[in-house]
Amino acid sequence: MGLENIGPPELIVIILIGLFIFGPDKLPKAISDGVRMLRQLRNMARNATGDLSRELGTTVELEDLNPKTFLRKHLLSEDDEQALRKPFQDLVGEARGIAESVKADAQGIADNVQSTTTKTAPKPKAIQASYDDVT
């Protein structure tokens, strides 16, 4: 976790905002306090996941703190997970099949309308505009 998502323009804007809010005298102290606070938060998160891992008897990562991920990884077996996913996968497959058939029908209708229109529509005659028509 770092600053990989912040580009140079964003960093410049952040520094300018910091200068306006804290002023040039207090900005370095504010930055160091912010960095110290981030380090403390990371240490607290590591300690919390370590304590949780010890209590549960399994390894817990920060990503596992999402309830869905935690349940999937630590409480459900692969067979249970497949049993839960099977009905939804079947529904998604049916919906995709229906969508493809509707798309094919609509494309066929559009092709028929287009071919009928091009065969029966008379070609427009060329119109000659003269100088008198324009003025």
Q: Both 57 and 106 in a single domain?
A: no
Number of domains in the chain: 2
123 within domain boundaries: no
Range of the domain at 37: 8-65
Q: Both 61 and 89 in a single domain?
A: no
Q: Both 22 and 42 in a single domain?
A: yes
Give the pair of three-digit tokens for residue 22: 């804290």
pTM given for the model: 0.37
Confidence at residue 84, expressed as pLDDT on a 0 to 100 scale: 80
pLDDT in tens, 50-73: 887 788 777 766 666 677 777 667
